[in-house]
Chains A and B, each alone.
Chain A
Amino acid sequence: MNDAAMPAAAPEALLEVEHIGRSFFKPDGDPLLVLEDVNLRLKRGEIVGLLGRSGSGKSTLLRLIAGLDAPSRGTVRYLGTPVAGPAEGISMVFQGFALFPWLTVLGNVQLGLEAMRLPEAEIRKRSLAAIDLIGLDGYESAYPRELSGGMRQRVGFARALVVHPNILLMDEPFSALDVLTAETLRNDFLDLWGRGELPIGAVLLVTHNIEEAVQMCDRLLIFSTHPGRVVSEIPIDLPQPREPLDPRFRALVDRVYVEMTARPGHGRDGARAERPAPVGIGTPLDHVSTNLLAGLIEAVSEPPYGGRADLPAIAQALHMEGDDLFPVAETLQMLRLAEVGGGDIRLTEAGLAFAHSDTDERKSLFARHLLAYVPLAAHVRRVLDERSAHRAPKSRFLDELEDNMAEEAAEQTLRAVISWGRYAEIFAYDDQRQVFTLENPA
């Protein structure tokens, strides 16, 4: 375990996050809140999961803890001292592996130890031990490009634990891997962790995969989006190893789905959310393709669901993870083609009608709902109608959006509306000239 003798049975907090807030500055200089008033205590020996949609600021929180970024408000305390830069004893596993392609496996693993200025013999000994532990024996002299994704992430793990960190931060470590590889790697990790062979104090895991979170963590913190806030905490007290088909496991997964589809301000614990929060011109939209929207509608309308489906069940049937499914479901909800709540999705009248229409009817139904329930689409159309030339530059709408959201979100929101507007044929867009027009090349 850790070099500094670990006091037995010491539930002291390794990490205390107090009232953390983080805002970024928009182009006009106003702050945009990404994280708001987040509190967290991490004790030795536990794995805590941060679960939330994209845009919930969970990765930002991880970077604040790693000392890669500074909070706008609040403090991060590691072993009682405030973090003001990358702290020794906190290491990180990255989503995209972040291996140095010009270094061998051994070179990558040694990196952190070299920076610690340890004697060469010790560096070599510890690196080889870590490589051995993580199952990379024989690959010491390989370059990352020669390895498969799973092996690369093993290097990522070896590099992070060779420094014997008190806290291991994991930023969606399995999400770039295929399902089978991810499962193998997860199980290997849990196995080593359970046997106490990992020289790590505690783990903080960021994920959007609900099953993964329930499988690995002792405690889950669920984040809301825009801004990111902890909306609930779910203890997972199943013994390891956990069996995904176990009814208690399924019940926990269901509960997480319910929490994640519940809207803040409404009842928790499975209480149905009423009408979704009103959408304004400045609401960030997810760029969900119309193929996905139609696909989900069709899937829910068909047997065995018949217009109503359990989200975890349909996610599994469609081979989608929660993070992929939520934006689709919520876009349908925004368009009043479906309702989402209590971990379920239910098609509305219009949604069912959509499922049973041909292409042209679908388009006109979609167009009506788009204009009625997505103010930005209606706004674009109105501006085009009002102008005598029926043309408007993209920048006009982009500037408007950037008053309310970050540059990237504005770009994505506009792209979403462009793609829906094109499908509905309510306006056309020329990417070469970056203008919206009413003329469709017909």
Chain B
Amino acid sequence: MSTERLPISVLRRRFVPGRWDVLAFVLVFAALAYLAHAAYGLTRPLSHLESEPISLSPWALPGYAAQTALRMLVAMLASLLFTFTYATLAAKSRRAATVLVPLLDILQSVPILGFSFLIVFFLSLTPGRVAGAEMAAVFLVFTSQAWNMAFSFYHSLRSIPQELDEAARAFHLGPWMRFWRLEVPFAMPALIWNMMMSMSGGWFFVVAAEAISVGHTTVTLPGIGSYIARAIAARDLGAIGWAIGAMSVVILIYDQIIFRPLIASADWFRLEQESGLTPSRSWALTMMRRSRLLSLTAGAFAGVLRLGFSHPNEPRRVARERTHSRWRESLWYGAVALVVAAIGWATARYVFAHIRPYEVLHVVGLGLLTLLRVVVLIALASAIWVPIGVYVGLRPRLAAAVQPVAQFLAAFPVNLLFPVVVSGIVAYRLNPNIWLSPLMILGTQWYILFNVIAGASSLPNELKQVGSNLKVRGWLWWRRIALPAVFPFYVTGAITAAGGAWNASIVSEVADWGNKHLAASGLGAYIANATRAGNFARTVLGIVVMSLFVVIINRLFWRPLYARAERKFRMS
């Protein structure tokens, strides 16, 4: 075949910069310059942080906001790396999965701020340098992001359609090529959704992680979180307002240049090959697709990936099926059980060396208090948001306008708003046991809202029409049509909201306003106080008890409810 006959689309084009290239060029080089500057900052000594205290001037905020955003980005990349390795290992090795999957499940239930103790460890890695403190902050954010991403990737790997798997094998794709050509693209839509969820949670924790004190160690990294901490100490409501504004801008930018394009491109990877959904639009994706500069760069990147394809790949041999040897299985399970028992025993020994046994009862009691708060708040939030969500979801144009707002609100780190509420509690001398509670749900209630909206908008038109045709109205309409239709979606949202509320209790059950210290009694406050006092044994006890609460409630309540919702209310 001569080149004249090649279709135009496959011939290489010469590079001519266009207007999208100019935009891409500016953005890319600004980012590179900033990264270089930030990398230099890492090598400075810790004492530098102390000599340059956080400034409350609004003009300092863009710089702080940029540093906070960079921490988020690094944590997200780390989470992706973890996802690709951990989940792949769990999916490929049945034996590894027996350990890795339950471990992930537990890690998901551990209150993230419980990890703040590790800051001491990270500081010791790079003595006297800022890098260690930065690593600690990034690690905290990482722990709030990685688990659900890994879970989603693992599930995707396990549910690759049989024919695609067979096609990949029949055409001799090696492991590396298979990963990039089949597994990653297939997992993309679910992974992108989980990255967004992670990101939303991440903002909350990056703010909390920038100003940490564990025992005698206090680290204040320049960023929006430490700006807020300083504003609280100075009782400066104006500065808090500025910080809220800056955070909003950062989240909007992130949304525009990272998530809109990701969501728009996720449609690409979907397996269902019909085009019923309205395509998502994104100017940043348009830029990436239209800019030849970027597509040349991407081409080079793809070329490097393809080098990996050319590793000599022996066809994977298929083995004759055998029954798995029983004793080898039991040996493996035995070994795992032994290690788990040893860790459990060591932990228990450590905790009880420092704590009297009856305190465990006290801690469980505190857990019940926090549980009560979570239950009441979820019920309240449901009573408010389910009707509103249904109302919005049934009106497509309204839903299209509200969804991004709800997503933005979910991403917004509500701990920035805490000082506003706390100053109110102090001013009106309200009971902290009651009035601190709503802070727990402030950030996570939105998951209920946007899941219900999604559920109501997926209600088939015909069912709506049958409802009005049969004149089903009022309470009957809610009972027979609206509530069953949104129920599975509601459960998904409520699980997320409840999990988030447990986590948030650690930062919301205790609060400061200047030198005024407020505390509600609950498990969150117990963990927060133990961490602040540097009492390791109590922190561990609190975390273990809270993790148990979350795991048990998930197993006994949410999972059965979810399974029931799936079975009873699915549309097909």
Q: Give the chain A neighbours of B174 by CB distance below 8 A.
A: 115
Q: Give the chain B neighbours of A101 by CB distance below 8 A.
A: 268-271, 273
- Name A124's contact: one of B10, B275, B310, B313 (CB within 8 Å): B10
- Name B166's contact: one of A68, A125, A138 (CB within 8 Å): A68
Q: Which of B166, B310, B319 has the most CB of A within 10 A?
A: B166
> Contact at A85–B167, with CB atoms within 8 Å?
no
Q: Give the chain B neighbours of A90 by CB distance below 8 A.
A: 170
Residues 83 to 119 of chain A near chain B (Cβ within 8 Å):
84-88, 90-92, 94-103, 106, 111-112, 114-117
Q: Give the chain A neighbours of B273 by CB distance below 8 A.
A: 101, 144-145
Q: Which of B7, B171, B312 has the most CB of A within 10 A?
A: B171
Given known contacts A85-B315, A140-B7, is B269 in contact with A102 (CB within 8 Å)?
yes
> Contact at B1–A111, with CB atoms within 8 Å?
no
Q: Give the chain A neighbours of B320 by CB distance below 8 A.
A: 70-72
User: Which residue of the partner chain B has the closest CB to A125?
Assistant: B1
Q: Give the chain A neighbours of B318 by CB distance below 8 A.
A: 67-70, 84-85
Task: State the CA gap A414–B186 with chains docked (Å).
Answer: 34
> Contact at A115–B313, with CB atoms within 8 Å?
yes
B97-105, B131-139, B177-185, B280-288 - interface stretch: B177-185
Smallest CB–CB gap between A148 and chain B, Å? 10
Q: Is the interface of B mostly helix, strand, loop or mixed?
A: loop
**Does B316 belong to the interface (CB within 8 Å)?**
yes
Task: State the CA gap A56–B271 with chains docked (Å).
Answer: 29
Residues 308 to 338 of chain B near chain A (Cβ within 8 Å):
309-310, 312-313, 315-321, 323
**Does A25 belong to the interface (CB within 8 Å)?**
yes
User: Which residue of the partner chain A has the closest CB to B178?
Assistant: A115
Task: State the CA gap A103–B182 with chains docked (Å).
Answer: 10
Smallest CB–CB gap between B83 and chain A, Å? 18
**Does A159 belong to the interface (CB within 8 Å)?**
yes
Smallest CB–CB gap between B317 and chain A, Å? 4
**Does B462 belong to the interface (CB within 8 Å)?**
no
- Name B315's contact: one of A63, A67, A125 (CB within 8 Å): A67
Q: Give the chain B neighbours of A117 by CB distance below 8 A.
A: 309-310, 312
Given known contacts A68-B170, A102-B185, is B6 in contact with A128 (CB within 8 Å)?
yes
Taken residue by residue from 129 to 143, chain A's Cβ proximity to chain B (1 for < 8 Å, 0 otherwise) reads as: 100100001101101
Smallest CB–CB gap between A153 and chain B, Å? 13
- Name A98's contact: one of B167, B309, B323 (CB within 8 Å): B167
Task: State the CA gap A418–B169 with chains docked (Å).
Answer: 39
> Contact at B321–A70, with CB atoms within 8 Å?
yes
Taken residue by residue from 119 to 162, chain B's Cβ proximity to chain A (1 for < 8 Å, 0 otherwise) reads as: 00000000000000000000000000000000000000000010
Task: State the CA gap A91–B173 with chains docked (Å).
Answer: 13
**Does A316 belong to the interface (CB within 8 Å)?**
no
Given known contacts A94-B163, A106-B10, is B171 in contact with A115 (CB within 8 Å)?
yes
**Does B274 belong to the interface (CB within 8 Å)?**
yes
Task: State the CA gap A117–B177 with chains docked (Å).
Answer: 11
- Name B172's contact: one of A70, A115, A132, A140 (CB within 8 Å): A115
Task: State the CA gap A327–B489 with chains docked (Å).
Answer: 39
Residues 247 to 293 of chain B near chain A (Cβ within 8 Å):
268-271, 273-275
Task: State the CA gap A86–B273 with chains docked (Å).
Answer: 28
Task: State the CA gap A432–B166 with chains docked (Å).
Answer: 35
> Contact at B269–A114, with CB atoms within 8 Å?
no
> Contact at B7–A98, with CB atoms within 8 Å?
no
**Does A222 belong to the interface (CB within 8 Å)?**
no
- Name A102's contact: one of B9, B173, B268, B323 (CB within 8 Å): B268
Q: How large is the interface on B (under 10, 10 to 19, 20 to 34, 35 or more residues)?
A: 35 or more
Q: Give the chain A neighbours of B323 by CB distance below 8 A.
A: 25, 29
Q: Give the chain A neighbours of B161 by CB distance below 8 A.
A: 96, 98
> Contact at B321–A98, with CB atoms within 8 Å?
no
Smallest CB–CB gap between B179 and chain A, Å? 13
> Contact at A114–B177, with CB atoms within 8 Å?
yes
> Contact at B185–A100, with CB atoms within 8 Å?
yes
> Contact at B163–A98, with CB atoms within 8 Å?
yes
Q: Give the chain B neighbours of A137 by CB distance below 8 A.
A: 7
Q: Give the chain A neighbours of B170 by CB distance below 8 A.
A: 66-68, 86, 90-92
Q: Give the chain A neighbours of B464 by CB distance below 8 A.
A: none
Given known contacts A25-B323, A84-B317, A102-B269, is B6 in contact with A94 (CB within 8 Å)?
no
Q: Interface size on A (CB < 8 Å)? A: 51
**Does A163 belong to the interface (CB within 8 Å)?**
yes
> Contact at B163–A100, with CB atoms within 8 Å?
no
**Does B164 belong to the interface (CB within 8 Å)?**
yes
Q: Give the chain A neighbours of B315 by CB distance below 8 A.
A: 67, 85-88
Task: State the CA gap A138–B8 with chains docked (Å).
Answer: 10
Task: State the CA gap A351–B113 with chains docked (Å).
Answer: 73
Q: Give the chain A neighbours of B269 by CB distance below 8 A.
A: 101-102
Task: State the CA gap A103–B186 with chains docked (Å).
Answer: 11
**Does B479 belong to the interface (CB within 8 Å)?**
no
Given known contacts A70-B321, A101-B269, is B171 in contact with A91 (CB within 8 Å)?
yes
Residues 57 to 85 of chain A near chain B (Cβ within 8 Å):
63, 66-72, 84-85
**Does B568 belong to the interface (CB within 8 Å)?**
yes
Q: Give the chain A neighbours of B312 by CB distance below 8 A.
A: 117
> Contact at A100–B310, with CB atoms within 8 Å?
no
Smallest CB–CB gap between B562 and chain A, Å? 15
> Contact at B171–A100, with CB atoms within 8 Å?
no
Smallest CB–CB gap between A382 and chain B, Å? 29
Q: Give the chain A neighbours of B317 by CB distance below 8 A.
A: 84-85
Task: State the CA gap A29–B323 with chains docked (Å).
Answer: 7
- Name A86's contact: one of B169, B182, B310, B319 (CB within 8 Å): B169
Task: State the CA gap A97–B181 with chains docked (Å).
Answer: 17
Given known contacts A72-B321, A144-B273, is B9 in contact with A100 (CB within 8 Å)?
no
Task: State the CA gap A87–B172 with chains docked (Å).
Answer: 8
Task: State the CA gap A377–B418 with chains docked (Å).
Answer: 65
Q: Give the chain B neighbours of A143 by CB distance below 8 A.
A: 268
Q: Give the chain A neighbours of B169 by CB distance below 8 A.
A: 67-68, 86
**Does B306 belong to the interface (CB within 8 Å)?**
yes
> Contact at B275–A140, with CB atoms within 8 Å?
no
Q: Give the chain A neighbours of B275 by CB distance below 8 A.
A: 145
> Contact at A100–B164, with CB atoms within 8 Å?
yes
Given known contacts A128-B6, A140-B7, is B163 in contact with A96 (CB within 8 Å)?
yes
User: Which residue of the partner chain B has the closest CB to A113?
Assistant: B171
Taken residue by residue from 192 to 210, chain A's Cβ proximity to chain B (1 for < 8 Å, 0 otherwise) reads as: 0000000000000000000
Q: Give the chain A neighbours of B7 by CB distance below 8 A.
A: 128, 137-138, 140
> Contact at B1–A128, with CB atoms within 8 Å?
yes
**Does B92 belong to the interface (CB within 8 Å)?**
no
Smallest CB–CB gap between B115 and chain A, Å? 36
The 4 closest A-B pairs by CB, nearest first: A98-B163, A112-B171, A85-B315, A98-B167
Additional pairs, 11, CB under 8 Å, beyond known A25-B321, A91-B170: A66-B170, A67-B170, A69-B318, A70-B319, A70-B321, A91-B171, A102-B188, A115-B309, A125-B1, A140-B7, A145-B274
- 18 A–B pairs (Cβ distance < 8 Å), ordered by A: A70-B319, A84-B317, A85-B317, A86-B315, A90-B170, A92-B166, A95-B163, A96-B163, A98-B161, A101-B273, A102-B188, A111-B181, A114-B306, A115-B174, A117-B309, A129-B1, A143-B268, A145-B273
